[in-house]
Amino acid sequence: MNENGTATPAPSAEESSDIAALAKGGQQNVLGFLMRLAARLPFLFIAGRLYGADALGRFASALVVVELVALICSIGEKRGLAQRLSEGDEDQAHLVYDGMLVALLLASLAGLVLYLVPAPLFPSGEFKTLDRLIVIAIPGYALTEIVLAAQAYRYDIATTVRARALVEPWTISILAGVLWLFAPLREAGLSLAYLASIYAGLLTALWTFLRSYGLPQGWVPSPNRMMRMTWRALPLAMADAIEWGTRRVDIFILGLFAAPSAVGVYYVAQQVASLPQKLKTSFEPILGPVITRALKDKDYAAIARQVCQVGFWITAAQAGIALALGIPGEAIMGLVGPNFVGGTGALAFLLAAEVVAATAVVSEAALIYVARFKNLLVSIATIGLQALLTVGAMLAVDAYGLSDLWRAAGAALSLMLALGVSSVVKATMLSRILQQTVNNWRWALVWAVAAAIAVGELAIRLPEWAELIFGIPAILGVYGWIIWKRGFGPEDRVLFKRQKKDRATPSTAAPPAG
């Protein structure tokens, strides 16, 4: 029975196995979140306290362009690779290496162009010669996306956690601190530390990938085959870039209207808010193989159940994290430096944006296979709406003569509104295509949020150190307890069960029909 009192059909044995795979990925994602939190905060502290808001703002502006270009160069393989491996008759390793070669060529060309023409990286015009080396990260980032997608197809999320939650963030944190000690490298320290972190993550991913897929023996690159692959992947690559761009166009527009220091404050708020975002994006690789298999069987009801199941897990987790980070927001932003406390309003809107975006993300995980072009159109409309709202917010701040910190809050509010519209549209679209209800809302969320807010109101009256040490766990604790008691059913509690290690993966199962 669901919370509305109506009977829900029992999942098949295969679907139960899929839910177990999703749950295992979810368990690893929670571990990854805690590891990211432990590593991300030292970086923000070092960047804010040592380098300052201006340097952080210049770094953030360059990062927007570098990661967007790298994502485009990965030609949609982050989510499209699962479908190619499920449908293709060729050797799986050869299919992966095709994508890697195309990504390497495109990323290298894009990096060369940006090195020669660095204006898009640094719209303020302020940069050092060594800062331009950040473009070398583009091939590494693109290849990492593909390698991790290949591992996720075989239900290996642990490699993603190691590379993205352990190696990358700790490398950038440690090197940012070390490079600041060397005066000749200090001004480009953030860019160089980021560059090193990307390739450290790539090497970590390749270590497992090569043991899993092996070297490309017998692989002969074919320009015609890779052109067909690239053309087919173009809509998905654009959708990936646009979805990612909705998290970065705000920084780009803010950089055009505001001083680098305001961009730096906004970047810190965005980095804190992006911690819960990793929970949903990390589910995408494991959702891909599950959904593509259900599509082959035309089991649309199973797809709807899986989307709703994962959607609720993500929404519940993100809402709790948003409350735990947002209520003591001033104390958290103050850790980075006194100049960053003014970004608390932007942090609140950004955290809310991640919660409302959860439905769009899980719906899109299925839409990219059943309505790729329509999904692309909605994504384009979403980023267009966000850009219009953000520019409107910038102009409103000018009209009222407000400070740049109001610009940061306006950019965050624009993101939240655009993502909310996207969630409604994409969930409705998927529901009509599958002819199944797609809704991850449960009323238990209301009770849990209300209780967490009540505890948070008490926590913010404590000294800042106590607010962080005792307040955050208390908010999470009461929220989690109510969600567990009122929101979770038996099918949800599998998320917290120990998963067996002998689950068959796509690599060991019978090959799909061509």
pLDDT at 348: 94
* pLDDT grade for 20, boundaries at 50, 70 and 90: low
Average pLDDT over residues 103-118: 94
pLDDT at 190: 92
Closest residue by Cα to residue 493 from 27, 81, 14, 6: 27
What is the per-residue pLDDT across 312-355, written as a single tens digit (0 to 9) for each?
888 888 899 899 999 999 998 988 888 889 899 999 999 999 89
In a domain, 73, yes or no: yes
Q: Pick the range with the lowest mean pLDDT from 221-230, 277-286, 423-432.
A: 277-286
Q: Which residue has the higher pLDDT, 79 or 425?
A: 425
Q: What six digits make up the tokens of 10? A: 């029992």
Q: Tell me the H-state helices in 89-222.
A: 92-116, 137-153, 158-160, 168-180, 183-186, 189-213
pLDDT exceeds cutoff 70 at 91? yes
pLDDT at 4: 44
As a whole-number percent, the residues of the chain with pLDDT over 70 amount to 84
pLDDT at 349: 94
pLDDT exceeds cutoff 70 at 24? no
Q: Pick the range with the lowest mean pLDDT from 47-56, 122-131, 281-290.
A: 281-290
In a domain, 133, yes or no: yes
Q: Which residue has the higher pLDDT, 92 or 457?
A: 457
pLDDT exceeds cutoff 50 at 429? yes
In a domain, 291, yes or no: no
pLDDT exceeds cutoff 80 at 460? yes
Average pLDDT over residues 465-490: 89
d(CA 81, CA 144): 13
What is the per-residue pLDDT across 148-196, written as a single tens digit (0 to 9) for each?
989 888 878 788 888 988 899 899 999 999 999 988 888 889 999 999 9
In a domain, 2, yes or no: no
What is the per-residue pLDDT across 38-54, written as a single tens digit (0 to 9) for each?
677 788 888 888 888 88
pLDDT exceeds cutoff 80 at 224? yes
Q: Which residue has the higher pLDDT, 265 or 77?
A: 265
Q: What six digits make up the tokens of 348? A: 């609140």
Q: Pick the range with the lowest mean pLDDT from 84-93, 212-221, 444-453.
A: 84-93
pLDDT exceeds cutoff 50 at 511? no
- The CA distances from residue 63 to 111, 184, 198, 266, 489, in Å, are 13, 22, 12, 14, 41
* pLDDT grade for 438, boundaries at 50, 70 and 90: confident
Average pLDDT over residues 83-98: 80
Mean pLDDT, all residues of the chain: 82
d(CA 422, CA 501): 37
* pLDDT grade for 451, boundaries at 50, 70 and 90: very high
In a domain, 385, yes or no: no
pLDDT exceeds cutoff 60 at 268? yes
What is the per-residue pLDDT across 370-383, written as a single tens digit (0 to 9) for each?
888 888 889 889 99
Q: Tell me the H-state helices in 11-51.
A: 13-46
Average pLDDT over residues 58-76: 87
In a domain, 163, yes or no: yes
In a domain, 47, yes or no: yes
SS (HEC) of 263-321: HHHHHHHHHHHHHHHHHHHCCHHHHHHHHHHHHHCCCHHHHHHHHHHHHHHHHHHHHHH
* pLDDT grade for 503, boundaries at 50, 70 and 90: very low
pLDDT exceeds cutoff 90 at 415? yes
In a domain, 505, yes or no: no
Q: Pick the range with the lowest mean pLDDT from 128-132, 224-228, 241-245, 247-251.
A: 241-245
* Coil, strand or helix at 218: coil
Average pLDDT over residues 77-89: 74
Its pTM surpasses 0.85: no
pLDDT at 271: 82
Domain count, the chain: 1
Domain of residue 146 covers 26-245
